[in-house]
Amino acid sequence: MESHQNNYRYERKYILDISNYSTLVNELLSEGMEVHHPARFINNIYFDSLSLKSFFENIEGENKRNKYRLRWYGERFSLLEPTFEIKIKRDNVNRKESIKISKIDFKSFNDIEELHNNLLDSLEEKNSLVFIEMINKIPTLLNGYDREYFISKDGLTRLTIDRNLFFYNFMSNQNNSIHNKMIIEVKYPTNVTP
């Protein structure tokens, strides 16, 4: 792997009504959290087996599971400079491994097969073990959202707020947007109590 987040960490997610957004941000800032990174739009394509093994492992709460995704920032349809990520969950903690992928042109949802082939070519060149893991996986879901980043003064606890959620299911060719909810994620090392 090109990049490792070697240490496992806790990652906790919460869904809140969007009407709480301003109150939440004001409370975070008044409690000493700081803006960690400029806000940006994130896109992800998730990969799974035809039987949706990763999806069902997540729904069933399996203690050991991996999630495979391609991530990029900014415009959804453009010349991408994505990163391929494997999110590794073991019991209550997570870590991430990342591989920078060659540029891929993604102009519409119809380009997904070409994008998938280019991803596999890049993985075969950069990491043969991950390439072998990915041979029997297909793109199943694209999601996107506006993300804001906050960090504690000691730098140990990070919090993100995701809004304007968008989902596209490659298997059913259906999409959905959610504007009345936000997802809060808190990330902190295993040796820290938030």
Task: Burial-class residue 160 by CB neighbours within 10 Å (0-12, 13-18, 19+).
Answer: buried
DSSP 118-132: HHHHHHHHH-HHHHH
E strand or H helix that includes residue 152:
none
Residue owning tokens 């495979």: 68
The tokens describing 53, both together, are 């093994």
Is the pTM higher than 0.75? The answer reads yes
How confident is the model at residue 192, as a pLDDT?
Answer: 63
One digit per residue, the tens of pLDDT, for the chain of length 194 reads: 454 456 889 999 999 999 999 999 999 999 999 999 999 999 999 999 999 999 888 888 888 999 999 999 999 999 999 999 999 999 889 999 999 999 999 999 999 999 999 999 999 999 999 999 999 999 999 999 999 999 999 999 999 999 999 999 999 999 999 999 999 999 999 876 65
Distance CA 45, CA 113 (A): 12
Q: Which residue has the tokens 């059913």?
A: 172
| 177: its two tokens | 């947007």
- Choose among 41, 95, 35, 34: nearest CA to 64: 95
Q: What pLDDT score does 92 carry?
A: 87
